[in-house]
Structure 1
């Protein structure tokens, strides 16, 4: 985990603890090529080390398991069948943009709007295409001007999109059978009774697509809180490339969990100045109104001081 991941996990944990809620840890390992068991083990070890425990989920259990998406294919198949009965789903033989469909799309990825090319294929054309390759499955969105998906984010306020204009028909299952992120998280949140989702603001544009899926499936949607990103002085969001901001690196350097959490809490407006503090002590201070709306620049001297 880099510090941007930690910041998001911390705010999600604090919001749940401040409300006396139940925190669910779900491992979103849809893509077998990118998701290794060792990564899951490291992530869970990092969370425990930080003191960010969870009430249900991987390694803990609970009533809505399994909590790894790689084991939840039957849930997705049932939801897909429900959508297919409404003729909302069609086969797509285009290759572009498929590789990343199982991953959470970020605003900086520049995902193009799908043209709808395969929506209008004739039965003969579909049969010809099917001989060449297996199709992915796309979800049909309303025609331009027919519908707008709007919601009020718990942190950022009102937001709306016209799906046809802003994303087009989107993939819900890849041609290799892997279910897409947009589809799987909706199916899982609905099945698990999730009422609140906290995530980075670079995923804000995903929410209208997910709300549209909730509507089609007849399921209640959770409340969404999209938080500011931790960015470099150049405005680039932190990533695994930033080794100095990697939790493994910081642990090796001898940082303590309370030191890291205190630094992040100060950046996030929860503390007036930097101090070492535990997650449970921070929970008493948590208030969404304290969290900045705009992205947070991590100062160059962030790693100085304690070590």
Structure 2
């Protein structure tokens, strides 16, 4: 499986349609758009709807960005319409002897002894070298409980690195990660690599909580003959307790902030402050100002803290 879409490279924003986007999600999407426009790339939108889906969310998310002056350059790619493509990618890996069934539950993995030098949570290889008889027994056990095996990638279980525009050198051990879950859903690390390759995405801008996934995705891209993208992992937006921002923190979505009296200009002014670029000249009031002023070499590397406005 090689090649990618023709034409100029692209950046992409790929939210899950599980609800309204909060201000941190929106910031990542706007930064992706700004970077694409600055570098002459297409700006693409992907609807990652293989797992949690709330009806109407995808349309609402697109509408919010349209109100902020941002529209994708092509029709959104919808993951649920691409199951055959993901299945074929797994077949390619399987034909190369790089796929095996895994019968472990999360509890099994948590309780298993870790491999030497493996990071916490890494798969310990329990099912990697089972014999045919053992596999048959495990399949029957799962089937009796209405379950099926997951599929894992047989990796070299070594540390791999990527170069990130903001973070520099990022390393992580690439363990035997899941390609298709036990419930039949294709895993994130597989689908994003396949979709980025198919869409010609050659630069990935996203939150730095996903930086540790980049070495896995780069490793898989090489196996599938897909060009590894460039990486730009931006700092997260956190709540006042320095924890991941969530909707329970108050008025954090675009709709909630508008209900509290925020304007689009207020949104962009906050974006500028949160990125440490408030002293960088023109005040941002719209997406054009953000595109012109978002200097990725000068972004504040620290997480941004968002304090929601008090209820009106």
Q: 1:125 aligns with which of 131, 134, 147?
A: 134
Q: 1:152 aligns with which of 139, 145, 163?
A: 163
Q: 1:269 aligns with which of 261, 276, 279?
A: 276
Superposed CA RMSD in Å reads 2.1
Give the whole-Å Cα distance in 2 for the aligned partners of 1:23 and 1:78.
Answer: 26
Give the whole-Å Cα distance in 1 for the aligned partners of 2:55 and 2:86.
Answer: 21
Deviation of the 1:160 alpha carbon: 1.4
Q: 1:92 aligns with which of 98, 102, 111?
A: 102
For the pair 1:210 / 2:230, whether they are aligned, the reply is: no
Q: 1:135 aligns with which of 146, 149, 153?
A: 149
Deviation of the 1:250 alpha carbon: 0.9
Deviation of the 1:24 alpha carbon: 0.4
Match of 1:103 in 2: none
Give the whole-Å Cα distance in 1 for the aligned partners of 2:67 and 2:303.
Answer: 26
Match of 1:162 in 2: 173
SS in 2 for 1:57: coil
Deviation of the 1:276 alpha carbon: 5.5
1:149–1:208 CA contact under 8 A, matched in 2: yes
Q: Aligned pairs, how many?
A: 275
Give the whole-Å Cα distance in 1 for the aligned partners of 2:106 and 2:292.
Answer: 47
Gaps of at least 5 residues in structure 2 are 1-20, 109-118, 143-147
Deviation of the 1:26 alpha carbon: 0.6
- Give the TM-score taking structure 2 as reference length: 0.83
| Stretches of 4+ aligned residues off by more than 4 angstroms | 273-276
For the pair 1:303 / 2:312, whether they are aligned, the reply is: no
2:272–2:284 CA contact under 8 A, matched in 1: no
Match of 1:224 in 2: 231
Q: Deviations over 1:113-160 (max 9, x none)?
A: 2111111221111111111221110111214xxx43112101111111
Gaps of at least 5 residues in structure 1 are 59-66, 99-109
